[in-house]
Amino acid sequence: MWVITMERILLLGLLRFIYVSADLNSRADCGNVCADGWTRFQDSCYYVGYELHETFVEAAHFCRQHSAHLIHINTELESKFIKDFLRKTKASTSWIGLQDIDIEGVWRWYDDNEVVTYTDWHPGEPAGSTGEDCAVIHSGDYLWQDYPCDRTFPPICERNMNEDLSGIVG
């Protein structure tokens, strides 16, 4: 009898855990899991809007609507991850969150205005001067190039898991 009761309690606990997890995951990232359609790498979830054709500002807006930002590539590891991912999924040229709109030649990440440190430019890039102030990962070799911000490409969104969780609490 005691064993059966314990089994019931454990089973109910397990069902409740599954239910709560599924509920949270359907709305946002939870713990180690990214929302449907998003791909995990380290502490972020990524989404490529393959079917979208948006200007840089529209692309940034799209990511914000999904509690994310245009990808901020912090490290060589993150760069390698996203390059491999884009190559594997045969992605076309896509926006990253890097721009020199305010001061020509000073490239800053759009989510936190940080001046770029790690870069992965195609040799000779950026080359567009004031006519090209927004950056893409180009499908030719998946290296970075500057393009006019009003050109239209898919966005690569990044959602930081920690930020996202604190956002839900707050």
What are the residues binding Ca ion (CB under 5 A)?
Answer: 72, 74, 100, 133
Closest approach, Cβ 108 to Ca ion, in A, equals 11
Closest approach, Cβ 152 to Ca ion, in A, equals 18
Sequence-ordered list of residues with C-beta below 8 angstroms from that of 5, at least 6 positions apart, any chain? none
Residue 124: φ, ψ to 5° = 90, -10
Identify which of 70, 87, 97, 84 has the alpha carbon closest to the alpha carbon of residue 41.
84
Closest approach, Cβ 23 to Ca ion, in A, equals 27
Query: Closer to Ca ion at the Cβ: 26 or 129?
Result: 129
Query: Closer to Ca ion at the Cβ: 28 or 156?
Result: 156
Residue 110: φ, ψ to 5° = -75, -25
Closest approach, Cβ 62 to Ca ion, in A, equals 17
Closest approach, Cβ 7 to Ca ion, in A, equals 45
Query: Closer to Ca ion at the Cβ: 62 or 159?
Result: 159
Exposure string for 67-104, b = 16+ CB within 10 A, e = fewer: bbbbbbbbeeebbebbbebbeeeebebbbbbbbbeeee
- Rounded distance, CA 33 to CA 27, Å? 12
Query: Closer to Ca ion at the Cβ: 72 or 138?
Result: 72
The dihedral sign for the CA sequence 141, 96, 164, 61: negative
Query: Closer to Ca ion at the Cβ: 100 or 164?
Result: 100
Tokens coding 123: 């040799």
Residue 156 DSSP SS3? strand
